[in-house]
Amino acid sequence: MRVTIKPCSVVKPAEPTWSGRLALSELDQTGMTTHVPTIYLYTQPSDDWDTVVQTLITSLTTTLVPFYPLAGRLSTITGGRLELDCNSAGVQFTEAYTDVKLVDVDDFLESPLLNQLIPSVDYRHTPLEETPLLLLQVTRFGCGGWSLGFCISHVVVDGQSALHFISEWARVCRGELVASPPYLDRNVLRASEPPMTTCSSVVHHEYVQFNPPPILIGQSSDKNERKKETTVAMLKLTETLVTKLRNKANEIRTSEKDNRGFTRYEAVTAHTWRTACKVRNHEPEQPTSIGICIDVRSRMKPPLPEKYFGNAVVDVIATGTSGEIVSKPLGYVSSKIKEAIEKVNDEYVSSMIDFLKNQQDLSKFQDLQWIRDDGGPFYGNPNLGVISWLTLPMHGIDFGWGKELFTGPGTEDAVDGDFLILRGEEEASGSLVVASCLQVRHMEEFKRVFYQSIED
């Protein structure tokens, strides 16, 4: 399978936009410094291919006018922080072709072709100030079908904001007007002036960029675990299996907070954590943690403005020992996850923002041994990081030639312990997919235990 890529072009807003330096919030400064890859696959369009490409480009230039920050570039300022230069430098657009047919790709999520359909970012040879914040690749298949792959900077937007842009671009491509312009003022998530010197009743000892996740007993660092070969698998859960896991979790509730029952995310994440602890063969006293990403838009008082455009997510950590995670009921493990999630409220987020503002130099934390090259923490053995895309408006994106056949994440940059929970291909069915990255030596056993223990 081969993808032929044409020289890339730069697409800029169709008309002049505001120019200048846009301050980023503290939550923008703490995310992954890389781009997040996503893919959409479509059947053959009704128009000829040249018309499709030109329509996509023309509508993109129009959509970039209200979404002009995406056409800018990042730059570094004092204290290791970043700011956004709104200079209309443009986004990268690439056209490509492959002789593969959509029907030849049996499982899109695990196809080796998948990551060739998504543009790559050359971080080593391209300075930060020259790196596009949005890169797009449109690929035509041999059958006439096509794909849209994109990478978008996680410093500038989170998943909700990225998909807000994609959905509005699709709307404009269909010949309509932008329905919901982005809310660009990030001051609603800025620290107080001056920032609080204390965090009231909230303590952020768990903040992962400043405190290392547990390492394996007997080791002095996670360096050995990082070197081990990894692989990716997509574990499909039918609605029946998801229901079984929720029922299992809700058999035993450990506190009054659990009376309303555990969500499917909490139950599936707990099951994933238990399974990983089992197959990694930890000692019972092995500390283990799980990183959870929380959208705070509706948790603030007042809630953030509708269509806030930026990062509005925080990471929280649930911890335990491998022995208790494996031996205790699923409801016990689910309660640990629920407890971590429910402490994220307005006070928690505000104190975290002030806590980050009080850090004189954020750059020193990027060099710590538990931080990955992309700026995020390493959640490999004995830990996990489980992100939910269940609430993201990914589906039903129609650029004028029909809704997508498939959408999902790119997997090229996944590392040990990275997990992502997605809605299944049949959106209304209640099925889920757990995108999993583990060391090769653990994956086959993980898949076996993952399914078998649901039925136990």
Position 46, amino acid:
S
| pTM score | 0.91
pLDDT band at 197 (very low <50, low <70, confident <90, very high): very low
Looking at residues 72-95, what average pLDDT do you find? Answer: 93
Cα angle 331, 334, 339; round to 5: 120
Q: Which has the closest alpha carbon to 92: 129, 55, 133?
A: 133
Question: What was the pLDDT predicted at 425?
Answer: 73
Position 265, amino acid:
Y
Residue pair 75/85 in contact (Cβ under 8 Å)? The answer is yes
* Percent of the chain topping pLDDT 90: 71
Looking at residues 188-203, what average pLDDT do you find? Answer: 58
What is the count of structural domains for the chain?
A: 2
Residues 63 and 127 in one domain: yes
Active-site annotation holder among 154, 271, 282, 442: 154
Other Cβ atoms closer than 10 A to 218: 7
Bridge pairing between strands 384-388 and 418-423 = parallel
Query: What are residue 298's phi and psi, to 5 degrees?
Result: -90, 0
Residues 171 and 257 in one domain: no
Active-site annotation holder among 85, 204, 395, 398: 398
| Per-residue pLDDT reduced to its tens digit, 392-440 | 999 999 999 999 999 999 877 788 999 999 998 765 578 999 999 999 9
**Domain termination residue (choose one: 146, 164, 189):** 189
Bridge pairing between strands 9-11 and 384-388 = unpaired
C-alpha distances out from residue 215 to 38, 218, 222, 287, 364, Å: 31, 9, 6, 8, 21
Give yes or no: 395 in active site.
no
Burial bucket for residue 269 (CB in 10 Å: 0-12, 13-18, 19+) = buried
pLDDT band at 77 (very low <50, low <70, confident <90, very high): confident
Residues 185 and 227 in one domain: no
| Per-residue pLDDT reduced to its tens digit, 269-318 | 999 999 999 999 999 999 999 999 999 999 999 999 999 999 999 989 99
* Percent of the chain topping pLDDT 70: 88
User: Is the model more confident about 113 or about 209?
Assistant: 113
Q: Residue holding tokens 């490409």? A: 53
Mean pLDDT of the chain, nearest integer: 89
Local structure of residue 124 (DSSP, 8 states): T
Range of the domain at 271: 223-396+412-455
Cα angle 34, 156, 202; round to 5: 95
Burial bucket for residue 57 (CB in 10 Å: 0-12, 13-18, 19+) = middle
**Domain termination residue (choose one: 168, 189, 210):** 189
Give yes or no: 271 in active site.
no
CATH of the domain at 228: 3.30.559.10
pLDDT band at 201 (very low <50, low <70, confident <90, very high): very low
Query: Is 194 among the domain residues?
Result: no
Question: What was the pLDDT predicted at 365?
Answer: 56
| Per-residue pLDDT reduced to its tens digit, 368-388 | 444 445 445 778 999 999 999
